Amino acid sequence: MGFKDVALLQIISTALPEELVFRYVFLGLLSLWNPFAGLIALSIFFGIGHRFSHPGRNWNVLISNALIGFVLGLAYLYTKSLLVVMAIHWLDDMIPWAYRRYENLRGITIGATALLAVLPLVLLWDKLVSVIEHLRGIYSNESLILGTGMAIAMLGVVYLGLRLVKGR
């Protein structure tokens, strides 16, 4: 399958339905009770769901997907936009696919991924500061530090995943 086919398939079969169910329905309902507890619970459930929906995957996939679920949930809680989390989810699916599919473009794929991770921080620094202030009004400092640590750990998991794919 070509890039356009896989990109469309990822939107229809993964990004749209998963974000509708996990973020819009479940996180939306759990947020009425306790947004942070709902975020943690749903992130773990997201990881478990991905582990058992693909029996051939290792247990480290549970941890990786739980961290990804946390980032997606946090993005949804802040933006209330399914399009934002669908785009993040789609990129999270497409970047590893492109890395495996286009061996001659691996350097560009890694560079573009790094740019996508850093560029928003640079361009939207003022917005990032306001997001942090907004979150500090909702969550404790300890919770924010834990969330930041999980996000950094997720980058490490992605890096290790790419290294494992490269080693095959």
Tell me: the pLDDT tens digits for 107-120? 877 777 777 767 76
* Tally of domains in the chain: 1
33 is in which domain, residue-wise? 3-167
Position 167 scores a pLDDT of 58
Q: How far apart are CA 132 and CA 117, in angstroms?
A: 17
Position 155 scores a pLDDT of 59
Question: What letter does residue 168 receive in the DSSP assignment?
Answer: -
Can you list the residues of the chain whose pLDDT is less than 50? none
Residue 26 exposed, middle or buried by CB count within 10 Å (0-12, 13-18, 19+):
middle
